[in-house]
Every structure is written in structure tokens, then in C-alpha cells.
Amino acid sequence: LGALGLAAVAVVLLPVVRLVELVDPGWRPPLLLHALVVAVGAHLLLWAAGGRRLSAVFLPVTVFALSAVPYPWQVEQALVRHLTAVVVNTTSDIFVLAGRPVVAMGDRLVMGTEVVGVTEGCSGIRSLQSLLMAALFFGEAFWFGLGRRVALVAVAALAAPAVNILRAYALAWVHFAKGPDAAAAAHDAIGHGAFALAAVILYAASKVMDERK
């Protein structure tokens, strides 16, 4: 009865939350509340139907689904600022080591009169979110224990910024060598290639862990 009562509350609450989401899709609290109600409600219904163990069996699936929910705005912006600083400063250092006089100025790479800006979309936040989701997927697909799943998440958290730095370096090199039009033309191809490389790294790590299991 308690589970059915919760389901009834969710049926009433979710349409109201959904209306708020449609009015302002960028407002995070309704999205987080929506996800919380669905996740908690589903697991309480599973618990009522088959006990604690049945609810626990579906927990990895729920965590995977929750990885699609946007982060709270303050958390996301803090990550964006941190990732942007890492990408810009590290890319500048790579250019300097390669003998190119590139200077990091805020969120820009400057060489002479040429300037390359690293925007929020190029910070790597989307790649990080996507690879964390992929790590959760591989952990479930290979039926890993908790330790290996956490290790995969750590690999994803390291691979995402590392590959994004290579992406930023490649785009900046094209910009400085061939101009902004060439960099714009190569932007999507280099971005897709970088994400594919990170996904291959993640899959290879999964296979290594699977062979040692």
C-alpha cells in the first residue's frame, strides 16, 4: 500500500514538474526533482514487489539512467571553468615545448595576432559526461564488480580531458597554420575523432579488466 501510495503521488507530481520543465528547460531543479522522483519511486516499487535484492539488482541501471540528468548549474559551471583552464594552459605548454610561441590568456590561446578561444562547449564537459555514461555502460555490460566499475569511471575521468587537450591542440594548430576557416571546417571531424579515441581507450581498459577477472 505504501508503494502504491507513492506511485499515486508521483502520478500527480510528475505532470506538474514536467510543465515547469517545458516553460524553462534550462532550470535544473525541476529536472533533478523529476529524476529523483522517478528513481526513488521505481526502486520502492521494486522493493515492494520483490524485496531489497530485486531493487539492488536494478541499481546499476538506475545510476546509468541518472548519468543523463544535467548536473546542478553551480557544479557544471565549476567543472567548465576548471576544464577550460586545464585545456588552455596544457595546450599552451605543448605548443611552447614544440617551439611555437603560444601564450594562454584567460580562455584564449594567442600567437602573435592570431587568437583561438576555448568556449564552454570546447571545455570537454560534454565529453566527460558522455564518457562517464559509457564507463557505467561497460561496467554493466561486462558484469564487473564495484571495484572495477569505479576504476572504469576513473579511466573515463582521466581520458576525457587528456583527449580533449589533444583535440584543442589539433584545432589550434590548424587555426594558426591555415587560418580560422580551415579550423572551422575541421572542427567537427576532429571532435568526433577525439571522442572515438577516448571511447576506444575506455573499451580497451574494459577488456583488460575482463581478462583479469
Runs of H (alpha helix) within 102-179: 125-141, 146-178
Grid coordinates representing 2?
A: 505504501
- Please give the C-alpha separations between residue 135 and each of 56, 95, 152, 175, 192, in angstroms, as whole numbers: 19, 31, 5, 33, 18
First-to-last alpha carbon distance for the chain, in angstroms, is 43
Q: Are 148 and 172 in contact (CB under 8 A)?
A: no
The pairs formed by 80-83 with CB atoms below 8 angstroms and a separation of 24 or more are 80/120, 80/123, 80/125, 83/123, 83/124, 83/125, 83/128, 83/161, 83/164
Q: Are 118 and 109 contacting, i.e. CB atoms less than 8 angstroms apart?
A: yes
Q: Which residue has the cell 540528468?
A: 69
Give the pLDDT of residue 161: 92
pLDDT of residue 119: 76
Q: Which of 48, 15, 187 is nearest to 116 (CA)?
A: 187
Question: CA-to-CA distance for 123 and 119, rounded, in angstroms?
Answer: 6
Q: Which ranges of the chain have pLDDT less than 70?
A: 120-121, 213
Buried b (16+ CB within 10 A) or exposed e, 47-61: bbeeeeeebeeeebe
Specify which residues 110 forms β-bridges with. 103, 115
Query: 91: closest CA among 103, 106, 82, 73?
Result: 103
Q: What is the pLDDT of residue 213?
A: 62
Determine the pLDDT at residue 120.
61
Give every CB contact of residue 194 below 8 A, 6+ residues apart in sequence. 127, 163, 164, 166, 167, 170
pLDDT of residue 88: 92
Per-residue model confidence (pLDDT) at position 37 = 85
What is the predicted pLDDT for the residue at 144? 93
